Every structure is written in structure tokens, then in C-alpha cells.
Copies of this chain bind each other. A is one copy, B any other.
Amino acid sequence: MLNFDLYTPARIVFGRDTQQKIGKLLKPHARKVLLHYGGGSIKKTGLYDQVVTSLNEAGIAFVELGGVKPNPRLSLVHEGIALCKKEGVDLILAVGGGSAIDSAKAIAMGVHYEGDVWEIYDQGLKIKKALPVAIILTIPAAGSESSGDTVISNEAAQRKYGYGSPHLRPLLSIMNPELFFTLPDNQIANGVADMMSHVFERYFTNTTHVDLTDALCEATLSTIIANGPRLLDNPQDYDAWAEIGFAGTVAHNGLLGMGREQDWACHDMEHELSAVYDVAHGAGLAVLTPAWMSYVYKDNIDMFAQFAVKVMGVTKGFRDKEELVKEGIDRLRQFYRRMGLPQTLSELGIDESKLELMARRATGIEYGQENPLGGLKKLGWEDVLNIYRLCK
């Protein structure tokens, strides 16, 4: 086990009707909030009215900024920063999924940064301060409700970068599974693929003697695999949503990666797909992950054998590890198929024309740098290109 620093301060207020407490919960922390959300579905469902009522009852003033899109845009972040400064906002309340939350975090740190907030992402600057962010989660997937991470797309530059800081850990997140009942099948499936990937990127490691986090990762993956399909059968299954929502938080609050070298190659490769083609993050991950596994498993076949047995439930083939591993990866593909997720880049509308460019960008070569991806196996740009090609 490696040395680590675990810090998971985001409070999770979970369960039925919890969104109605938001005003009371924020009262000790804010006088004026920015209400930040997406395309207005929260107005149709009545959630917007509930939030406004609760804020009013608590005597908390607010201004609002809607319009967050999937793969949230830098331009809206700039707008939010200006609005917060002008209005003297002291807390940002994101109502939505990962995109609204990531956008809120970008605004939160931009308010305290004198230059363009994109510089923080682009140059990996260390921030000292950010406005507090609170959340009412409507899409469990990104895990951003507990993490200190944010991913923003600079649409002008066609770049999508992630950034993380302990100062971006949310103050608190409301998670009511009932708020997930209206999600369409593709968003359910994308969310499931995203949270599974958050575990995979921590799970697949060359670090040894990590029994506890191995087992916690396997527990979380097994729970997601058992409950994901139940949501396609019945998107109003409270119990299944409770498991999936909670698992999405545990997957990405940091605990599961403690003491382990992590990987994150699939996320980095996917960010290029989203930056260039604006594909849904979870869908891109579902295409890339099995291909990545097939490409790298020989570098740590024991780790992938463990995955096959402990996560995918393979019970045959112990005398031929290669067979065991392939069966594990195949079962993962079958699971993604069951969830209705895409299997190939062509299903995502991506042809071969930009694969090389994306591989060169993902690894920095295109920008005169050389940043191989991954941890379990270091991937140069040609490796990344090979993996993209496996997904055709």
C-alpha cells in the first residue's frame, strides 16, 4: 500500500424529500446563492419550484444561471463568474448532474482568480480558495457531488480538461433517488458506465497489498452491475436508484483509490472523443474500456484474473488465466450491451479520420509534450491509436 491522504468532507444528505431541506441546510453558510442548472427540465418536474420555495423560506436570496450543457462550456462559466462577482454571491447551488456541478466548481474558483479560469485547467495551477458549492443531484453518474474534480470543455479550442483541488470538494449534496425517476434509458446507461469507470480507473493497478481497497472496489462494482439493469426494467425503482446513486458517490469520493497507483487512461482517451465529437462521456467509456482491457491485460494478468473472478463472477478456466481474463472482459461487454450502450466508435458517429489526431492530442504529442497515459501500462500515442482502432 502506498502512502495516502484521504479527505472526503462532502456531506451527503440522502433520501426521500431531502431536497426540501436545502434552504435550511444552506442557511448557516450563505446569504445569496447562484442557482445553476441545465436545460430547464427542473422547471418541468417541479424541482425548481421546490428549491425556490425552500430558499425563500430560509430567507436566502438567489440569482440564477441556467443553460449548462453536457460537456459543460467555458463560455457559460465566464458568464457565471461575472454574475457572481456583480451580485456578491457567496455560495453556488448546482441543481443537476455532473455537468452543472463541474460548471459550478469552475465558477466557484473563477470568482477568486484574477486571470481567465481556463488557465487553471490548462496549466494545472494550484488554487487557494473557491466559493463553497452545494448540490441537488438529478443525475447520478459523474460522482462530482463528492469529488474535488471538475471537467470543462473549451469549445473554441476543442479541448476538454480536468482539474482537481481539495478546495473544490462540495459542502454538501442532496441525493434523493426519486429525482432520478425521469431519466431516459441512455442517461441511465451512460451514468452506470461512468461510475463503473471511476472504479476501474482506481481498481486496475500494479500496486500490491491493497486488499481493502480491492475488496471495496469489487463491492461497489458488483452493486452497480446488479442494480443497473433493474433501472432499465423500471426507471422508478427507488431501491435500485438508491444503490446506484450511493455507489456513484462512493465510486468517486476518493476512498477507493487510496494507497494505489491509479490509471485514468480510459478517461483521458474518452475526453478526446468528447472534445472533438461531443459524445456522451459514459457512452465513450463503454466503447473504450473493454478495448483498453484487451490491449493491456498481459501487463498484469493476475489483476485481470482477479477482476474476472471477483467482479464478473467467472467460475471456470482457472487453469488457463488467459481464458479466464478473456471471459471476464467478454462478460463486461455483455453487461454494457444489456445496458444498451454502444460497442464501437462507429456507433458513436466517429470514423477513422481523426483517430491519429486524437491519439496525438491525448498524449500531448500534438502540443510538443510527451505525456503517456495510464498507470498499469503506460500508453504512448501509438498505443492510444491502437486502442482507438480496436474500437472501430
> Cβ of A13 < 8 Å from any Cβ of B?
yes
> Cβ of A122 < 8 Å from any Cβ of B?
no
**Contact in complex: A258, B216 (CB < 8 Å):** no
The interface residues of chain B lying within 8 Å CB-to-CB of A12 are 4-7
**Contact in complex: B5, A11 (CB < 8 Å):** yes
**Contact in complex: A5, B14 (CB < 8 Å):** yes
CB distance from A68 to the nearest CB of B (A): 26
A218 CA to B216 CA in the complex, in Å? 9
Q: Mask for A141-184, Cβ within 8 A of B = 1, else 0?
A: 00000000000000000000000000000000000000000000
Interface hits, A219-271 → B, CB 8 Å:
219-220, 222-223, 226-227, 239, 242-243, 246-247, 250, 255, 258-259
Interface hits, A180-213 → B, CB 8 Å:
208-209, 211-213
Q: Mask for A1-19, Cβ within 8 A of B = 1, else 0?
A: 1111111110111111010
Task: Please pick, from B208, B216, B219, B246, the residue contacting A1 in the complex, using a CB distance under 8 A.
Answer: B246
Chain copies in the assembled complex: 2
A16 CA to B14 CA in the complex, in Å? 36
The interface residues of chain B lying within 8 Å CB-to-CB of A259 are 14-15, 242, 246
> Cβ of A215 < 8 Å from any Cβ of B?
yes
CB distance from A306 to the nearest CB of B (A): 13
**Contact in complex: A223, B215 (CB < 8 Å):** yes
The answer to whether residues A215 and B211 also contact, given A1-B243, A3-B18 and a CB cut-off of 8 A, is: no
**Contact in complex: B15, A243 (CB < 8 Å):** no
When C-beta atoms are compared, the residue in chain B nearest to A217 turns out to be B219
A279 CA to B258 CA in the complex, in Å? 35
CB distance from A10 to the nearest CB of B (A): 9
Beyond the given A1-B242, A4-B15, A209-B242, please list 14 additional residue pairs across the A-B interface where CB-CB is below 8 A.
A1-B243, A3-B14, A3-B15, A3-B16, A6-B12, A7-B9, A8-B8, A208-B239, A211-B227, A212-B223, A215-B222, A216-B219, A218-B219, A250-B255
